[in-house]
Structure 1
């Protein structure tokens, strides 16, 4: 739980509060151990009730709940066991195919493909033929609707163990969409997002045709950046168009050698690539774990750069606003 700026001390240190008039010592520890235990249990209870609280620059005063569902141990163990069994049987069947004992040759490359350079490495080829093909029906599903919260799927069947598919002509309606980038509902063709986008398009057009540095800077861009800064409670913010190059190209322009990047462990590949291209030192903290981030940040400030112990030129914390499904 984080406190609002009004409740934080001026020097940035954590303010330890207690009840019943017991004041903390200078080092932050409470003299009365009994009152400390009471306060500790109370704080733990509050953390259970409210996982995260943020002031959001004063836009929202109410706390909001943020919970994460952990994978059950039984499900995780059975999943790994299933992949392990499929891997063992895959190697066994490849061995039997080499000795002409296995009669099913669908998972082998065709004769006319053997003279070509292989497109995959050995294990990738093995995985595709023996594992992925068995569950391929669950992936790459063709849809015939907007990629909203629910989608319509085109039904398909396979007669050769998922190597090829045939369409039946039937449409499966209202299937939950668990694999889309439509985080905020922008892909819907009706509703508030679609109406707002249509109104802005009629007023400003579909694009500016220029960079913001030249003739592409609109008042809407400034409004967006000011709103983001207020929401995050920071002085200013910059907004970029979405794309892989947005992260991979802009991070090297912001930071370079002699600097430090603290990156969330679940960051997108574009952020990871941009961090590597920058030449800066990269350290990874646990996903959404502020204690892990604070520890790395403290160590970086105290110890500085490796070997020389000079202060870092810059320290950049890289996180995502909305993470993909996991």
Structure 2
């Protein structure tokens, strides 16, 4: 049974119980016009020099490190794509050294990195044997800080390891089902307030193998343009027709839904068998949060299904870490397929699909992840159970809730500091993923190298993971970060922001108020 209107309001602090309201702020500020112009001009110069170097490689004047077809294969269909190789060998390989370093410690708020050198622009490496100690970790998805080396909290995991071993060496349908997996699935269903859940051994394949089991030929998928590769791959493997809507643009989504209902399938104009909307809870490159109340309203209006990937939001947002469903005070039953991973907030591996019992039972018998993938390791399952019980307060302490609160506090604090520095940041103010725009590949490379010298580990992202003119540094907040750590990062950001000239913000921020009363959705700009 759906939650009453009044209960939804109470969960979000509404005194009168008449409607649900949440005000949230998102920032997608555009840089001054000269910045993208200079960025594209820089890429143009790099491309010219790239072709010059390719000419030199062709004549043996410079060594080419890229993988190539053998001489006898070159007259047939090329094995490698030319433009992707061109970008890789001439640009990407110059900047990829920034964080392709072995980690030799727990990926907590501080970690150790193995130092290495390159003599051929990052095509090959040689390790020096030295270790860079106590680097501030600003890149791992360790949102709640549970990826830690705490001997006391790992005792249960150790006991399960001693009893069950490292792996089960079989699939779920053969000899891979364990009581630990059953315990985990029951706990996940309870945590999410749904009927049932199914656990998979890998987060990426949770999407790529389960989506094809839900839709196929004659079905329509409406996918957000910024969806993760695993969602895109799953949609392509399904054989369904795919149409992409603009990121978080409800007007564009409704137009596609209306056209799909009115016109039906191409040529035959028969009604679509299913219409599935694919979205994420938090978008890992933009830091934005899905506009869930509006999507659910559209889903109900046009009788579509909703598949939501909460890889980055489960455990990271919501008053008790239940993700964007709790963040917006929605009924979990309104999301047809709830997907998430244990690789971020839970400090483990794997993923889950949750929802109605009929849905989960169907996937158990039709998903390739259930039939062909190795079952989740029991010690890993125990780690997830331990963390989830901690978040729920089942361990008899408030440590889990304190971490959820600390993450929210760190996120707000860090984003406000960047706002004060006039750096252009993307995303929602409650999102622990904080992208800082630097635009030019040379700037992100210089920034990353400087930060590592200051013992701060950051992740830089550029084309093709982002638009060509929007290279960025992506910070990931953690409950384990101290204020002193964040202040040190902000101080270095301030210095490098002046050196690299990336303080372009004019404080252009979009404020939205979502009003939800179960029958109506309003969006106030």
TM range (shorter): 0.5 to 0.7
Match for residue 222 of structure 1? Answer: 186
Structure 2 residue 262 is the aligned partner of structure 1 residue 302? yes
Match for residue 252 of structure 2? Answer: 292
Deviation for aligned residue 1:309? 3.2
Checking the alignment, whether the CA contact within 8 Å between 2:264 and 2:272 is kept in structure 1 is: yes
Match of residue 175, structure 1, among 136, 151, 160: 136
How does the TM-score come out when normalised to structure 2? 0.41
Counterpart secondary structure, 1:155: strand
Counterpart secondary structure, 2:199: coil
Checking the alignment, whether the CA contact within 8 Å between 2:57 and 2:64 is kept in structure 1 is: no
Deviations 1:21-48 (A, max 9, x none): xxxxxxxxxxxxxxxxxxxxxxxxxxxx
Match of residue 104, structure 2, among 121, 144, 153: 144
Deviation for aligned residue 1:121? 3.5
Checking the alignment, whether the CA contact within 8 Å between 2:66 and 2:85 is kept in structure 1 is: no
Counterpart secondary structure, 1:256: coil
- Cα distance in 1 for residues equivalent to 2:72 and 2:23: 57
* Structure 2 unaligned spans of 5+: 15-21, 287-525
Match of residue 273, structure 2, among 294, 304, 313: 313
Deviations 1:242-278 (A, max 9, x none): 3333222211211222221111212222222221222
Checking the alignment, whether the CA contact within 8 Å between 2:224 and 2:279 is kept in structure 1 is: yes
Deviation for aligned residue 1:219? 4.4
Matches within 5 A, 1:32-111: 60-61=12-13, 63=22, 65=24, 67-70=26-29, 72-73=31-32, 75-96=35-56, 98=58, 105-107=62-64
How does the TM-score come out when normalised to structure 1? 0.62
More moved, 237-246 vs 116-125: 116-125
Indicate how the Cα distance of structure 1 residues 64 and 226 shifts in structure 2: closer, same or farther if over 3 A, else same.
farther
Match for residue 25 of structure 1? Answer: none
Match for residue 240 of structure 1? Answer: 199
Q: Of Structure 1 and Structure 2, which has the larger fraction of its residues in strand?
A: 2
* Structure 1 unaligned spans of 5+: 8-54
Deviation for aligned residue 1:114? 6.4
**Structure number with higher relative contact order (C-alpha < 8 Å, ≥ 6 residues apart):** 2
Match of residue 265, structure 1, among 217, 225, 234: 225
Deviations 1:150-180 (A, max 9, x none): 43322333344444434441415323332x4
Structure 2 residue 87 is the aligned partner of structure 1 residue 123? no
Residues paired across the two proteins, number: 264
Match for residue 275 of structure 1? Answer: 235
